[in-house]
Amino acid sequence: MRAQNKSSEDRAYCEIMAMILSQELPPGSIVMEAVIAERLKMSRTPIRAALRRLVSSGLLEITSNRSSAVPILTRKDWDDLFDLRLR
């Protein structure tokens, strides 16, 4: 059972990251767990875990009302973020 959850979390992580990188979720947009779960046809549990991973990797940030948002980053910020992830 745990392996299936991990697989769903990984899929959610990759799908959400792709939405961010393609600017389907543009900088400054709020990422709503329920909306993403419905869109990916997944339960909210793997979505929640994927959002936490994206926050820890810098691709999302926590807002003042505890939701997630796509940060507004400069080109240098993105370059630094990817450089750091490659190490």
Q: What is the mean pLDDT of residues 23-31?
A: 93
Range of the domain at 19: 2-86
Please count the structural domains in the chain. 1
With a CB cutoff of 8 Å and minimum separation 6, the contacts of 40 are 11, 12, 15, 47
- pTM of the entire structure? 0.78
CB 62 within 8 A of CB 73: no
Tens digits of per-residue pLDDT, 30-70?
999 999 999 999 999 999 999 999 999 888 999 888 889 99
One-letter amino acid of 58:
G
Cβ distance 42 to 82 under 8 Å?
no
Beta bridge partners of 67: none
Q: What CATH number corresponds to the domain at position 39?
A: 1.10.10.10
